[in-house]
Structure 1
């Protein structure tokens, strides 16, 4: 399938669907995020609250992923949002985030994330703000 022909109808978005660390690590490698040793990624998948995947219909290739860690009561931390470079700018990431935001809303969880520099505007369209009601994301570098 030519990249120009990719449309959302060719992509399946799934909540907490099939996932293994080998295919996830392959997706991460497209962004230089590979996890070694491989068992660390297995542990991360097992301990997560949930995830959303994007897969091609024709061959089931994993092309997008986002992970959520949550207390299951109020707070949800969104991490590892990634779309394969060959599939970016086709609305796949937005579809993943829309599905994720619906999942969090259904479970009455308040989402938090740390955006990489330059991605603020992307997340703003889902309701995130750089600072919200005096709260600030803080981290140690």
Structure 2
């Protein structure tokens, strides 16, 4: 599958980006929220197939010591085709000189991230405002 990766948020492609999120049940991702999170992201990876955005990924970083990868998501209709791996490789390449790269996996996708060199943290901590997420992700 020939996928092109773009490294810039394109507001005119908002509907396609929102379709990616909504296809996997992430309905809180409105136009306003998508615009806000992508404009505040330092690193962007958009997977394009036949002119349509079918996958996204983004990261925040200080460019030296720390980075965090967020939202590696592929449209439901395009999953299991290696697109998420292409996004991860692109994000990791853009972050290759950063000392520590963090991410929080959605439940059930930990093995995917391990294939890309990610490992469990011994001292990782988090706080969620949403009680459902607290129950799912925190000890």
What TM-score, normalized to structure 1? 0.79
User: Which residue is equivalent to 2:10?
Assistant: 18
Name whichever of 87-96 and 36-45 sits farther off: 36-45
1:31 and 2:31 are equivalent in the alignment = no
1:70 and 2:61 are equivalent in the alignment = yes
User: Which residue is equivalent to 1:90?
Assistant: 81
Given that residues 55 and 61 in structure 1 are in contact (C-alpha distance below 8 angstroms), is that contact kept between their aligned partners in structure 2? yes
> 1:32 and 1:125 mapped to 2: Cα distance?
24
> 2:29 and 2:100 mapped to 1: Cα distance?
31
Give unmatched runs, 5+ long, in structure 1.
1-6
> 2:9 and 2:38 mapped to 1: Cα distance?
12
Given that residues 21 and 45 in structure 1 are in contact (C-alpha distance below 8 angstroms), is that contact kept between their aligned partners in structure 2? no
Given that residues 69 and 102 in structure 2 are in contact (C-alpha distance below 8 angstroms), is that contact kept between their aligned partners in structure 1? yes
Cα 1:25–1:129 change in 2 (3 A) is same
What TM-score, normalized to structure 2? 0.80
Give unmatched runs, 5+ long, in structure 2.
129-133, 135-139
Given that residues 48 and 67 in structure 1 are in contact (C-alpha distance below 8 angstroms), is that contact kept between their aligned partners in structure 2? yes
CA RMSD of aligned residues (A): 1.9
Number of equivalenced pairs: 128
Counterpart pick for 1:112 among 102, 110, 122? 102
